[in-house]
Structure formats: structure tokens, C-alpha cells
Amino acid sequence: MIVEGNFFVEPEQHPATVTIAEICGRFVAAGLPCQAERHAGEVRIVFEGRKSNLVFTLNASGRPLTAIMPEEMDYDADFACAIFEVFDGIGWTFAPDPG
């Protein structure tokens, strides 16, 4: 279940070369239509028809470093699996919030 956890790049194996646009493209290809929205100091990927979104931190060159999905109200297993598969496909890992 995706609840207050972080996805992050493993820099030794997969340097942050992927862009937000590429990540959005992977979600769309996985059947999760979405769009990126820029807010003060962060980028959010908002999924169509869902309350859930991903919030990304960026490095100085604008590449994503971490992503967090705040607790969502419309969780379902298929959605969670697709999210994990996309991040796994770009070499990112998941770390649950210890709290």
C-alpha cells in the first residue's frame, strides 16, 4: 500500500537522468493518464480521475531526486502496482515512512 512513503533514485546505479516528462510518459504507457504541475519548489504528477498525486523534489538541473505520495484516499491494488512498476523500471526504490 502506498502511504506516506518515498521513492528515490539510487545514484550509484541510476543517476538522476530521467525527466519529469519521461516519468509522465511511463505512467501514461502504464494506463495512468496524468500531467505534471509545477508549484513553488516542487513538481506534482496529478493522475486523472484520482485524488492521489506524486510530489517530486528536484536537483539543481531540474531532474527529479525523490518522490512522495501523500496518503491517498482512493487506493486500489492495480493503481499501486502500476506506480511501483514505473518506478522500478527507472531504477528507483521505495522506502516506507518510518512514522
Range of the domain at 42: 5-96
In the three-class reduction of DSSP (H, G, I as helix; E, B as strand; rest coil), residue 13 is classed as coil
Residue 9 has pLDDT above 70, yes or no: no
CA–CA separation, 94 and 67 (whole Å): 9
CATH for 92: 3.30.310
Confidence of residue 47 (pLDDT cuts 50, 70, 90): very high
Confidence of residue 2 (pLDDT cuts 50, 70, 90): very low
For the chain, the domain total comes to 1
Mean pLDDT of 33-42: 89
The string of DSSP letters for 43-65 reads EEEEETT-S-EEEEEE-TTS-EE
Residue indicated by cell numbers 518510518? 98
Residue 59 has pLDDT above 90, yes or no: no
